[in-house]
Chain A
Amino acid sequence: MTRRHASPREVADVMVCALAAEIGDGDFVGVGLGTPLGLAAALLARATHAPGSALLAGGVFNADADLGAYLGGTRSLEGKALAFVSHFASMEMAERRTMTLQFLRPAQIDGAGNLNTSRIGPRAAPKVRFPGGLATADVVSLLPRVVAYHTDHRPRSLVERVDFVTGPGGRRHPAGGVSVLVTNLAVFDWGEEGVRLRSVHPWVEPRQVAEATGFRYRISEPVATTPCPDPQQLQALEQIDEAGIRVTEMPTMDLRMSSR
């Protein structure tokens, strides 16, 4: 019964729903540059199961707006946002843990939950210098929960050991580090016993995940299947992102970081 194929839109929708499932009604979600799927997830959660959750994205607090307007920045949100927040104030919210959750999109992640958004190869002359980690190093040790996502699950992205630790995984600091990773194939989570495969997406075999993953992880049989969006979620996604911006993050991933 396992399907063999999913369209980019179906992949995006399952990922957005898996990310949104991490948001509870009491959460305050911060969304930074270059994580449109995380933004879509926060908007979806507010429109469905977590109407009480709060969202701060690009200095804009709880705007009544869709994904496109949010990505257009403050000028497209005037009259729709409840508040505009300075960057210092938003970082202060993270420092005192008013903000509870952020989505990050690393170029590499390893089994210890270390995130690399900086570079591949040696520091002096790297093979690839990514645009930069922004607040990655800060939020993993400030926020109660960090959820990572990656749209191109393969051994060079999910690695045994990251080339550079921009944001350290759990146990190296008081906050938990990354707690969940959502990819285009599966969902992993981190607990006391390390990283575990939580579920595979409906069109994916656990064997495919094993082949595409460079780090070791635990499995509890039988492996669960990531839920597909229900009709209410699909309808909400259509309203949040009629233009399908979330799908543009899917294709031909070349380790490139995007941003707004």
Chain B
Amino acid sequence: MPVEKAAPAFPSFLRDRSVVAVGGIGLNRKPMSLIRALLATGIRRLGLVSFLGSVDVELMIAAGVVDCIHTAGTSLDGMGLAPRYRQARQRGHPRVVEWSEGALAAALEAGAFRLGSFPTAMSPRSEVLAVNPHLRVMPDPFTGEETVYAQAIIPDLALVQGSAVDAAGNLYIDGDPAIDVLIARAARYTIASALAVEERDPRTAAISRLWLDQVVVDPKGSWPTACFPGPLLDQEAVSAWGREGGGDPGRLGLT
């Protein structure tokens, strides 16, 4: 697997209505450069999976390329609500599918298994069921108890952001790895962005090269989100986005 210094090359099967999963968590480790490169392809009407989203979701909504957003939560953390996401929820477009964290992880596990669904530990009485058509209640085959089944998500593309990559292509994440390895396993194709090429102790790799199809190196790949030990959160850029209710996607680096 090549470790590239250049821009990412997206797989040829990616087209309108493909499903893209984005790693990171909140305002940490969002693969923003990869998202910007994806937007430059002109592919539209995407399904977006962002476990805990922030400016990743905002940028993709603002660019007008998203039809549907799967998330267990999206906000600007301490800097308030995510304006474009909030607007989408209020207007109903792009469509937001609300998940519990556990159910979304189960949907991705089912995707990694290439099965149609996975049972979850979610309560069948949760009202999330009413707003998420990908959660259905059926009895479990043993006790007959009502069980929530999460429909599988198989992302066509997963984008993840790491701290470093080694020459063999293993990705290192300093800090919370969230569910990045799960989306990498579930996806048909995974591209990682790393701040730098570094030879590190391979036992500390967060995502083995087995799950990565391409790695690009970009010391500012996470901007404006944080990626230890590189960029800190660009509070100015994020709070301005929140304050002004979103606005020009150029503020999040889209050219």
Contact = CB atoms under 8 A, between A and B. Distances in A.
A96 B208 contact: no
Given A82-B168, A96-B113, 14 more contacts: A61-B210, A83-B170, A83-B208, A85-B208, A85-B210, A89-B185, A92-B112, A92-B113, A92-B185, A95-B113, A95-B114, A95-B115, A96-B112, A96-B114
A83 B114 contact: no
A9 interface: no
Contacts of B95: none
Interface string B91-116: 00000000000000000000011110
Interface in B56-103: none
A82 to B, nearest CB: 6
17 contacts: A61-B210, A82-B168, A82-B209, A82-B210, A83-B170, A83-B208, A85-B208, A85-B210, A89-B185, A92-B113, A92-B185, A95-B113, A95-B114, A95-B115, A96-B113, A96-B114, A97-B114
Interface string B157-181: 0000000000010100000000000
Interface residues of B, number: 10
Contacts of A83: 170, 208-210
Nearest to B168: A82
Contacts of B170: 83
Interface of B: 112-115, 168, 170, 185, 208-210
Contacts of B113: 92, 95-96
A168 B115 CA distance: 21
Nearest to A62: B210
Nearest to A79: B202
Nearest to B203: A84
Contacts of B112: 92, 96
Contacts of A96: 112-114
Contacts of B114: 95-97
A85 B205 CA distance: 12
Interface in A92-147: 92, 95-97
A26 to B, nearest CB: 15
A19 to B, nearest CB: 24
Contacts of A89: 185
A89 B115 CA distance: 15
A193 B130 CA distance: 51
A109 B208 CA distance: 38
Contacts of B210: 61, 82-83, 85
Interface in A68-86: 82-83, 85
A83 B112 CA distance: 19
Nearest to A85: B210
